[in-house]
A and B are shown apart, each in its own frame.
Chain A
Amino acid sequence: MSKLSEKAATLLSEGTVKMIIGYEQGTERPRPAFCHKPEDCERLIFNDQCSNNLAVYLTKKEIIGEDKVGVVGNYYVIKTVIQLNRENQINLQNLVVMTVDGDDIITFGSIDEMQQYVDTHEPVPNEKVLAVIEKIDKMSRSERWDYWKSELSKCVRCYACRAACPLCYCNRCVTEVNCPQWIEPWAAPLSNMEWQINRVMHMSGRCVGCGECAAACPLELPIGILTKKMGMDIKNTFGGWKDGSVLSTYNVNDKENFIK
């Protein structure tokens, strides 16, 4: 039994938590695992392939219920927990956040510890994503329009991007509001674009950059690039987003050059 499984089994048998959310081996790559009994914990694994952002379950009452749960997550899970806590979406009293660093199991006692971990363990940026952003930046405006129109016209509006995103937790999404109908519900190039613009705008300054939206897309559309680019722009303009959401606050000294 691995150290991780032992730790998880102890937490369950001691009754500290009612469920452990972690990763187990799937057919092709690791998948989320939910352990309710100590013997379930043998399935738990943790490696570089464990990419799912498990924090998506933490805002879903039908999965975690009212009981205390433990989560063994990767870097992005920790980062998401910090953001969810900032937005008052989770109760830290009912949560044990853990990660695996080499051979050690780290259990976080506070948000400060998580922040420290996140600050010191930044993963290497995805070169592929950066290359595509660079490619699009070099295009002319009409080329960019054609690129996004052709890419997003393939979208079937399954909303997998929304379901996979741990920060898309609204009970009622703007895309389902029909009075007024902001976004047409059927799949057409413009409404697909409007949906993505909305998704990205609502993520502005909040997105942790886990890339789960793009990973979940059944058509492999480059939608993760939109949130990534948005994050880069915000970092350039506002210098990072450590204090929470960028758009729910303001600075009198914000500098722009287009309002005349």
Chain B
Amino acid sequence: MEENNNNIFEPRIIAFVCNWCTYAGADLTGTSRIKYATNVEIVRFPCTGRIDFMLLLKAFAGGADGIIISGCHPNDCHYTSGNFHARRRWMVFRDMLDFMGIDIERIRWSWVSAAEGAKWADVVNDTVGKIREMGPYTEYKKAAKFLEEEKIIHE
């Protein structure tokens, strides 16, 4: 668990974003000199439709405490329909995760366009604040490290 100088938990957030809207939006946040939390690691994808659901599970297994998924607003997709397909997938996947007890409150879905630099800063700050309150996602990390931590009992 990472902590800063004041012993406050610093969450690790992975953001999966689309190249055409949210990535450009995040760029605008920077060029507009808007400050936002540094806890986020952005992974750029060609389209939200490309974001495989396994990437989310892999991010959690790799130690992420929260995830942001963001792309073009509906009807704005660079490839016309990628975000519509993605939206359906997330609707199904989110219900599934919830049924299996995986914390869907740690996944933030958003639409951020290339012109919404301020919204991107808000989304990140909001998510970081929320995850900081929730604390590290220890139960998932524990399951991911099962084999390393499993004790072999010799009789």
Residue numbers of A with Cβ under 8 A of B are 136-137, 139, 141-149, 174, 182-183, 186, 188-190, 193-194, 197-198, 200-201, 204-205, 226, 229-230, 233-234, 237-238, 246-247, 249-252, 254, 256, 258-260
Contact between A229 and B84, CB atoms less than 8 A apart: no
Please tell me the number of chain B residues within 8 Å of chain A, measured between CB atoms. 36
Whole-angstrom CA separation of A188 from B147 in the bound complex = 7
Whole-angstrom CA separation of A260 from B57 in the bound complex = 21
Report the minimum CB–CB distance from A257 to chain B (whole Å): 10
User: Does residue B153 face the partner (Cβ distance < 8 Å to A)?
Assistant: no
- Cβ-neighbour of A233 out of B57, B92, B103, B110 (below 8 A): B92
Find the residue from B54, B74, B100 having the highest chain A CB count within 10 A.
Answer: B100
Report the minimum CB–CB distance from B92 to chain A (whole Å): 5
Report the minimum CB–CB distance from B84 to chain A (whole Å): 4
Interface SS of B by simple majority = helix
Complex contacts, A194 vs chain B, CB 8 Å:
54, 57, 61
Report the minimum CB–CB distance from B143 to chain A (whole Å): 4
CB-nearest residue of chain B to A183: B54
- Assuming the A-B contacts A145-B102, A259-B87, are A189 and B143 also in contact, with contact meaning beta carbons closer than 8 angstroms in the complex? yes
- Assuming the A-B contacts A201-B93, A237-B91, A250-B81, are A258 and B109 also in contact, with contact meaning beta carbons closer than 8 angstroms in the complex? yes
User: Does residue B35 face the partner (Cβ distance < 8 Å to A)?
Assistant: no
Whole-angstrom CA separation of A237 from B95 in the bound complex = 10
Complex contacts, B61 vs chain A, CB 8 Å:
190, 194
Contact between B53 and A201, CB atoms less than 8 A apart: yes
Contact between B54 and A182, CB atoms less than 8 A apart: yes
- Assuming the A-B contacts A189-B146, A190-B61, are A256 and B98 also in contact, with contact meaning beta carbons closer than 8 angstroms in the complex? no
Report the minimum CB–CB distance from B124 to chain A (whole Å): 13
Contact between B139 and A142, CB atoms less than 8 A apart: yes
